Amino acid sequence: MPTPTQILVAGGGIGGLAAAYVLGRQGLPVTVLEQSTAFGEIGAGIQLGPNIFRMFEHLGLTEAVRQVAFFPPGLGMNDVRTGERVVRVPLGDIAQAAYGFPYGVIYRADLHTVFLEACRALPNVTLRTGAKVESFAQDAQGVRATLTSGEVLEGAALVGADGLWSRIREAIVGDGKPRVSGHIAYRAVLPRAEVPAHLWSDDVLLWGGEKTHLVHYPLRRGELFNLVAVFHSNKYDEGWNTFGDTAELSERFAQAVPQVRELLGKIETWKMWVLCDREPVANWSQGRVTLLGDAAHPMLQYLAQGAGQAIEDAVVLGAAVRHTGGDWTQAVQLYQQARYLRTGRVQLTARFYGDIYHASGVARELRNRMFQGGQEAAGFAGLKWMYEGIDPDRLFR
């Protein structure tokens, strides 16, 4: 039998579609296998650092993203109990000048649609729904992916972009369930008309408190208002689309300043999810099979880099495939070698930033004084390594 040429991508989220688009642009036949009955994305807002806009520029998607994004003038943090400003970092021209690319925010569903439409425009990318990969096997000629329906698909390689609870990761890494952080996130999106003027802010604004924080910012050109409230909890429910308990939310923010409590009161229904990550690993590949995005390196949300790192993964994987002339066994090793330290650093730094946001006692006082003492620029510059990103034109030279 002839050696299969199609690339199988398990998962039709942002990471999976980014991988399909990158590989499809290189002329490779790609089949995306999405377990849901339709392509779609749940969740609320995503912050897009300059490193991610660098990827959009490389992929020719900048204008499509700009059509639906919002560009906040600053990043700010206030103390949730006193209301005092802890720090504000101006963005706009400053971010553009520092990194060559802007800082924006976008509705997760809108970003997903950008990649979905880009894939649909490529005749060599096939998009399938109701197709969940149950297991895989491989040999020197290719990979055979077995779906839960019993159907078997053959491919030259398999990219596992099947998220935090990845079946493919379990077969390769075998590290069990994700690490539960003990943090719960409640998310909601309001139309602009439902947000009073005195509560609206064009900034990405975080209200930090002891084991709690609220972050909010505009979405979709300023037509929507994104709110995410996070607090420590023992509750655990696998998934991203569970309804939250408004009574518990109110209790956790009972000591917050009036404007925070007023904002939270504007929401009648919240969706919640448990924040999880995993320990960084150096190997997430096996033969012709590799992982991408949350399947490879799930991270807490505190650096707002989950989707961005998945997009970077896709670009680097495509460059590795091109560099090796389509030798997938070599390409996936080259890809993970180029990615595991950077993504591991983001994973660990995100945990640290969660501690900063939720600080109490002396740690809270020290945080406030350091930032209020004029070192606010250091908060942005301290992440220079992340926001500078990767140069797609210099990979594997």
156 and 328 Cβ atoms separated by less than 8 Å? yes
| CB under 8 A, 24+ apart: contacts of 235-242 | 235/184, 235/274, 236/180, 236/274, 237/272, 237/273, 237/274, 238/165, 238/274, 239/273, 240/42, 240/43, 240/271, 240/273, 241/42, 241/271, 241/273, 242/271, 242/272, 242/273
Please report which residue ranges of 1-107 form alpha helices under DSSP H: 14-25, 50-59, 62-66, 93-99
Tell me the one-letter amino acid at 72.
P
Residue that has been written with the tokens 């090796």 in this structure: 324
236 is catalytic: no
Q: How many CA atoms lie within 13 A of 98 on its CB side?
A: 23
Distance CA 335, CA 314 (A): 9
The three-point CA angle 16-136-41 to 5° equals: 25
Burial class (CB in 10 A: 0-12, 13-18, 19+), 261: middle
Distance CA 355, CA 345 (A): 16
Q: Looking at 107, 217, 302, 340, which residue is catalytic?
A: 217
Q: 3-state DSSP call for residue 239?
A: coil
Distance CA 90, CA 94 (A): 7
Nearest to 32 by CA among 147, 193, 198: 147
Distance CA 243, CA 187 (A): 10
Q: 3-state DSSP call for residue 3?
A: coil
Count, in order, helices (H) and strands (E) of the chain: 13, 19
Residue that has been written with the tokens 């406030």 in this structure: 368
Which residues belong to the active site?
217
